[in-house]
Every structure is written in structure tokens, then in C-alpha cells.
Structure 1
Amino acid sequence: MSTPENKLVLSKVSLPDKKVLRKHAALRYVWKHRYMYLMLVPAVIYYIIYHYVPMYGAVIAFKDFSITKGIMGSPWAGFEHFQYLFGLDKFWRVFWNTVQISLLRLVFGFPLPLIVALLLNEVRRQLFKRSIQTIIYLPHFISWVILGGLMVNLLALDSGAVNSMLHGIGIGPIGFMSDPTYFRGTLIGSMIWKEFGWGTVIYMAALAAVNPQLYEAAMMDGANRWQRMLHITLPGIKSTIIILLILRLGSMMEAGFEQILILYNPAVYSVSDIIDTYVYRIGVTEGQFSIAAAVGLFKSVINFTLLIIANRLARMTGEQGIY
């Protein structure tokens, strides 16, 4: 005689293993999209070789590293290098320089591509629209080495073209590249000029995916351009804005190493020396590899923490985030 308990047991035994089913479903999904995953292989190999394998070198931060002894042969130092760093006034000056420059880049540099993309989205003349897009994103592909030389020639105190023009209208020469008062603004302005065009292209690609029928329906309901942008365009690209913001917050301690290394000089160290340039000087030029590794690890931990917090906040607002 079968009881309800026996039927329940039999039903459980006869059910296929859910884990096996999920495994087969995952394999079928991967096989179905095998060519897409195959395209990911070079990127995965790149990140493994150049991003994950070098993480082994972070051990140097906890050792008195010697080139002759190698990483494993060098004696352990524990947190000695971190204690030394945190006791240096110079380190905290470099740290706050990094934070201030990153915040300025975020506040002034992040909204600009979005604003330009929204303005270009309202342009109806395609030739003019594409021409503007091409002009503003071309500087992204020019290296800071070339741009640094151009900026030095344009902004030089004595022979620069900009100061020559200022002198012609009765304004004294301005030390854009040598005066701490102006140098940080020069850094932020040149960074925005170089990179905002590329961000605009990303937002324009996101705007192209917004359903045009929504605009037509809004126009029939009497919505003006401002209302269409506020209630259709911005919500349509909200996920793209959130993802780019998360990625930007996750690299807050990246204040532009290549740009600053090329443009700065000892006269403006007080406002432009950042963690990356500090690591370069003490690690490469002075050979203090353990201290440089400790600084780099400290920066990476902060970036990782900010990334987790930003992603968590994005998920709290209803977005998927980056994981």
C-alpha cells in the first residue's frame, strides 16, 4: 500500500539530477555560441598573462626584495614597508594629490561626454553630426608623448603661442606648465579635451539602441525635446551611464600616469605628483622595489574597494552592475 510519503520518495528518485541538467544546459549554451567565446580567447589570454600572472609579484611588498636573491629567496619583512610608508608626510601628499586629481577628472570629465552626446543626438544633419564626432574623438588616438610636445610649444612661458597672444592683449605670461596654481587645471583641461570624444562615441552607440517609436509616441503626445530627453533618452541609456560610472570609480586612484609623467616637472611636484609617478621614481629610478610594490598594492586595494561599493550601489538602484 502506497502512502503519500512513499510517493514523495519515488517522485524524488525519479526526478533527474538538477545539477546534471544545468551542466548540460550550460554546455549546450556554450556550444551554441562557440564562435563568440572563441573571439574572447585572445582577450582572456592577454589578461591572464599581463594582469593575473604579474599579481604574483605583489609578494615583493611583504619582503626585503633583492634582485640577486629573487622573490622567493628574499627575506620576509611583513608589514614593515607599509608602516614606513604611512609614516611619511610625502606619501600622504602624493595620496591626496591622486585623490584630488581623480575627483576633478570625475566631476568635470565624466558628465561632458554625456552632455555632448545628448546634444549631437538632437542634430538632424548627418554630415555635420558625423564630422563633429570625428573631430572630437581623434585626439583619443594621439599619444601623450605627441600631445605633451604640442602643449609645451603652445603653453611655454616665454615662447608659447598662447602666452604670446596673452601678451599681445596686455595680460602677463602665465606659467601653465610651471606654476602650481595653473598646472593642475592644465592637466584636467588637457585630459578632458583628449578623452571626452571617445566617451561621446560610446554614448552615441548607446543612444542608437533607443527605440525610435518611443520618440514618435512622445511627439504625438505633445512632448517637447527637453521632455523627450528627460523621459526617454536618459532612461534608455541609464545602464550604460551606470556601468561607465562604476568603471570610473573603480579606477579612482588612476590619475593619469602617462600624462603627468610627460608634463610635470620638479616645480609642480607639490600639486601633480601622484601615486603612480611616485612608484615610478622610487621603484625604477631609485631601485626601492619593495616600497614601490607596497604603494602599488595599497592603491589596488583602494580601487578594488571602490569598485565593489560602486557596483553594490548600482545593484541597489535596480541596475545589474558589472557582475
Structure 2
Amino acid sequence: MRWKFQNSRKIPYIIFTLRMLCYFFVWIALGIGMMGEATGEWRRDMQQLYTLVCSFFVVAVSIISMTAFLSNKKYLHAIQVSGFLFSIPLALYQYGTIFGTNGLQVAIWIGVTTYFMGAVGFNAVLWLYSKGFKHDGSEFNRLDGMLRFKRRFRRLFVAPFDEFDPVLQLLPSGYGSHDYALWLHHRYTDNKVCLATRVHSLGLDKANALAFWDCLQRYMDVTQPLPDLPILEPSRPFDPVTAEHDRRTGRDPHYWRKRTYQGWQAKERKELDRRLHEYPWQQQPCIVRARIDPELSIEAYYRRQEAKGIFATPKADDFDNVHRR
């Protein structure tokens, strides 16, 4: 049972960002083209008013488009197409054709290209990338209890999950609010991995970030069933503890697959958020601290691990006085 993620390659995130920006710049391109149609025959004050109104309108629609993309709203494409319904008739009225080198004509084709890349093009690029993609080995492995993650220009780092300490990083948004990102720091070395955008999404508040850390701990604890998440539902029958739990409780094997995101958001999300924010997080004693012998050196600890057949990237020899010289 492996929960895989990608730690070393940034190309999918770059493609996603470019696709998001496409929907922003469609209206920017069309707006610049339409603002250029404030002809010299107009009075100066009318030209300025036209430019000002267009600027505010275009920026507002561009921001709405990007927000609609991030929230997966169906009206996103209607907003984009409406820009062409304004600009193409204007170009036909002014020049009789949309082909040419005038500012509005060029803007229309820049907008068409940008919209195509956002709607189809970058999805095709991502599909082509996935065909040649090779997983870097980063994963939470429930079978052997190890966390593996790729480090840039270095080999895979491997260590038991219980050797990592969680750290919540506060991320100011710049608008008076903030989010949280979960980091895992290896206790005995300086290696660490950020799980934001790799395993959990951005935009988590503190309660949801703590709930996600609890979810990871339950995933790696083989004495407990898998967390009841949509992404893990196909794996539930293959985990003995989870399969027995589902048989005993009568859980529907297709519970999440029969539900829609809109239905869950409308009926259950508020109740879940309320329970998460009322839960007394971090009130229980740390079970890891109780298991760590303060008299045990790091070298001796890894000697014991290796004697048990648990081999991590850090070795006992890395911490003795002979090999460190």
C-alpha cells in the first residue's frame, strides 16, 4: 500500500500555472485590442473615459475568469467566449475582417490562441508529459512504514515514518489572511519535505492542516483502517485491516464513487468543518516522545534499527566518531 507523490519535478505545476494564466490573459489581450479602438475622432475626455471603463472591466473579468478556473465553475468558458462575441463584431465593423495587422485583429488571434491553450493545449502537453513521465520514488509506504522522497540532484532519502516530526508553516496570503503548509523534518538529519501541493492542497486552515496530519498517521498505522478518503477508496479491499473493518461496519465499497462533489459540499462540508474546528487538537500526550530513550545516542539507535533489518538512508556509521572524521 503506497501513497505516492512527486517531489522533484515541477513541470506539472508549471503546466497548471500556465493553463490558469491563459484564462486570465484572454481578456487582457482582447481588452487591449478594444481599448485601441478609441479613435482620434473622439474627444480626449471620451477617449480617457472609454479607456478607464475598459481597463476596470477587463481586469475584473480576468480575475473572475481565473477564480472560476480555480473553483471549477461551469461558466468559465462562457466568460471567455463572450469576449470574442464583443471583439469579433467590432473588428468586422471597423475593418470588414478579423484577419490583418491592426491592433484589434492581432488581439483577437492572441486571445484565440491563449484560450485554445487553456482549454485544450496544455491538457495535451500534460498528457504527452505523462507518457514519458517516470515516478521519482517519493511515497508513504504503509507496508514497510517508510517515507521516501527524492531530493534534487541527490538519491532517494528513506527513513521510518516515525522519525519525522511535523511542522506547520504559516503562509501569509498578502490579503490579511493566511494558510498552512505541512512539513516533515527528519529528526536526526537536516532533510525535510514539504507536503503542500504534493500531498495536500494549498489553502488549509490550522484545523484542516492538523486533521491532515492525523490522516497521515492513521494511514501509516497498520493497526488502524485506512482513512476514509475518496483517493484511498479503491485500495480499501486490498488492506486486510481495512477490509475487515468495512465488512464489520457494512461500509458500501462504492461510498465515495456514488457521491458527487457538489452534493457533499452542499450537505456535509459545513458539518465536517464544524467538527474539525471544535475537536481538541494537540491535547493528547506525544506517543513518540515516550518511545525515545534520552540516554540512547543516534549511533546506537541506528545500530538497533539495522539489527532489526530496518535500513534507512542515514547509517549508524554516519554518526560514529570513526566515519565522521
For normalisation by structure 1, the TM-score amounts to: 0.23
Greater share of residues in helix: 1
Specify which structure has the bigger relative contact order, considering alpha-carbon pairs within 8 angstroms and separated by 6 or more residues: 1
For normalisation by structure 2, the TM-score amounts to: 0.23
